[in-house]
Amino acid sequence: MDFTDLVMAHENLQPNQTPFRITGKKMAGWTSIFDDTIKIPLDPKAKKAKGTENFLYTKQPGHVKPAVEEQFRRYGERKKDITVDEAVRIFDQTGAEGKLKYLKKNGIDPKSKLGEHILSRSQKEIGDEMKRQLER
């Protein structure tokens, strides 16, 4: 599993559930996130399991991982030398210790630079284009 898969596995998410907590009434009605880059469609009317009512849900399960990757990518863009430890503490303000232990147990050094695990947008775009060309 890669970094994002490990973060998501530790979150124990329901299908289509993001780890992004709803922090206000307006946010509960959002129909998309990251509109300025990858625009992920959200489902504000999603049926939510008990205990997950305060989280955003995507319209499709395949959209959760790109949303999590984008959030971490943004941390790396704000601070170029951010470590995994620093990024996880911003991402998960209530369960960072457990997540960091889980990442370390699965081979991710919390002291390592986030950029070693999350591609920058330009690196990802180059990889996606190469993949499209190979599929032709």
Residue 82 has pLDDT above 80, yes or no: yes
User: Over the stretch 97-110, which tens digit does the pLDDT of each residue have?
Assistant: 999 999 999 999 99
pLDDT bin (cut points 50, 70, 90) of residue 67 is very high
Rounded Cα gap, residues 102 and 1, in angstroms? 12
Q: What is the pLDDT of residue 93?
A: 84
Q: Which residues of 31-58 are buried (b: 16+ CB within 10 A; e: fewer)?
A: eebeeeebebebbeebeeeeeeeebbbb
Rounded Cα gap, residues 41 and 68, in angstroms? 13
Kindly state the average pLDDT of the residues 23-47: 94
Mean pLDDT of the chain: 90
Domain edges within the chain: 3-135
